[in-house]
Structure 1
Amino acid sequence: MTSPPSPAVRRAVADAHRREWARVLAATVRVTRDLDLAEECVQDAYEAALGAWTRGGVPDRPGAWLTTAARHNALDVLRRAAKLRSKQHLLVEPATEPDPPGDPVVRDDRLRLVFLCCHPALAAEARIALTLRLVCGVPTADIAKALLVPVPTAAARITRAKKKIVAAGVPFRLPSAADLPDRLDAVLTVIHLLYTTGHTAPAGPALTRDDIAVRALDLARLLLDLMPDEREAKGLLALLLADHARRATRTAADGRLLPLEEQDRSAWDRKAIAEAHGLVVSALRGAGTPGRFALQAAIALLHATAPAYADTDWEQILVLYDELLRIWPSPVVALNRSVAVAMVHGPAAALPEIEDLERDERLAAYHYLPAVKADLLRRLGRTPQAAAAYERAIALTANGAERAFLTRRLADLA
């Protein structure tokens, strides 16, 4: 009778999934030239690890074990495939697609696969959804929340992207230096959305998923190492650093979410904030309009460097939001800008902007919209309407810490 996996083995497999998934998938894709098949083979390898590591112990190099198992799975499937003859060359040498000559441009396996999946032959939304799902392991439901679309829409984008790769004959090889600029914006967006799903988990009892946030920070740093002159790569890393610097103060000891005005600023990571400051200065310097990540980083830095919440330079933040909304007309940016409007001109000035955003279908399930509206109504003394908005926000919120915070705010109205 086979022994069930021990907690130690389960932890080892989970840790290997967090650390090695992208590397194992990258190696397997080069065998299969088929993303669906590669994903299935890698999943089977992780499932097999539970039993094999229970019987023989956790290997010294879990990633190498998983890569070997996944590639063997792939070759077995190809041998059994009905179109064996068309796949015959894959059985001779697994990595048959030649990479560009010389040293690889992108040395890190995880970042390579991000660039590979962000191929310009795919629509921008499809690239982002596919990469988040395959490379980063983000659940489809969380991708849908991040992209402000229904879950079936996100799933369809991933499926269409896989089919388009096959139909268009997109080669599964490492990108050359000439390929990188066309893929940069999608790569930046993927890393930012990955961080967002870790900074505030879309669902579950905990506010954050630190392992995902740290993974995104690692990728942002690798991207800047790869493209050190790119202003937006600097801006992205600065944005993530400025936000991550206050991770230890976002919840109280009992798990309660603490809004920005209640956080202990003396506990913020000053080294990370200083690094973000240097990056922002560099990203804003130079000819032309700064990009969306540089502007977001500048906003985050104004929050991070204010000595106290009352000292926040909301006027400058509003100026930056005006520019950000001009170059990136996103409904989420418009919502965030309305908060700055309320701080500069009062909640009554911001409320009409919120009511305009309520007509935007993209924000129909975005819980921050009714949450912001509820706060504005509370500050205006319109208690019944504020309560209704809080109830709407609570109904849309799947994160336990945020839900508890909104529930307390609703109770305080009474």
Structure 2
Amino acid sequence: MAEVEFTWALDGYCARYGFLAQPEGLTMREAARVFQLDPQPPEAGTLNDYITAALRERNLDYFSFFLHHYETRLNGRVRRFLMREGLERYDPERFLDYKMGCVLAMLDCLPGYDPMKEADFLTYAHYFIGNALLECRRQEEAGSFQSLDEYKAARGIAWLYNNSGKSTKDVIAEYANHQNCTEMTAAEYLALAQCNRSRVPFYQTVQDEEGEETGEDVSRDDSWNYADILWNSIRAKAVREAFEKLDYREQTLLEKRNAVCMTCGRVSPLSTRTSFEDLAVQFEGSTASGAERAYRRAVEHLACLLTEAGVIHMVRLKRKSQTRRKQKIAAAIYLYQVDNDGEWGEISFDFERGTAEVTALVGWDTSRTHRFANLAIQELLNCNNKALPKETWLVKEL
């Protein structure tokens, strides 16, 4: 059967049924029941009968009848995908965005469905729905990938790298052999996945029994660095808003040093980032060490803005006193402050024994675990004794 030529516009259909509207104060129950009709649609023998009627009559009312009955199963598929990606399943707006992406994908592939091939429409549409979910996820990656195919390739090699335990060279060779591409192409996909890891959460790809995908962190290295303050597990929108409040020099330092473009969201390999020497040349009258200090101040300023926006917590540490033995710091007292609120707590460290005691708790750090004090303790006890900072700051995600 040749592809059916529909006489209606897809956008017009969506507008007719209000599928693109997302009212303020949307509840999860409303998002899960957006396609329920009252009164009940006419009964049909199977779900596929609605689809064949839509094609035969060229009337998408039948497609809305199909959605009325299929919605519960569609909700389940979207929830499973969000859960496996590590995303919030109970955010009504996100849930509806993903759900609408699936519906639009089904509408898009509907004209190409041929009932004469004796395959159910849901079997035919399964691949398109999966791509729609991945496309929604790709959009949340803040524009790191130029196409869905590129995104899927990066996820595939990321999964192989994370689960095989092999070296980068072996992973690239295995992926290239399996996908019948060059090792250069495979290396580009892996580099793209690793660059993306430095700015937003990235999840691995693995198929379950329904052909959907699960999610795990792509990177084996969870160590903290300045790039993580910019991007790791922080919403890109909040970062952009904070970034816009920085002055031109701070913005330039952050973009060039981290090899990111805040305009388009593209992340380049870290090997292309600008050195502090080159940054010093760009800002005349500075030295490499001066450029590095300016960069760190810019990162700190951005972290302060994100703290004010309620995206992260920020813990400042300042050494109050110390005791030295044999060129090493044997003990020290550090002050700590949370979210720049002005109140300081105090922690006493015994570095010879590897112990610490909170002697004065910050006023609102009153949870049983004293999470901010413990963060400071863990950081300093794991620090090289010869590199113990006089002043520093840490971040903690909400």
* TM-score relative to the length of structure 1: 0.29
Q: Which has the higher strand share?
A: 2
Rg larger in structure: 2
- Which protein, 1 or 2, shows the higher relative CO under an 8 Å CA cutoff with sep ≥ 6? 1
> Which structure's residues are more often helix, by fraction?
1
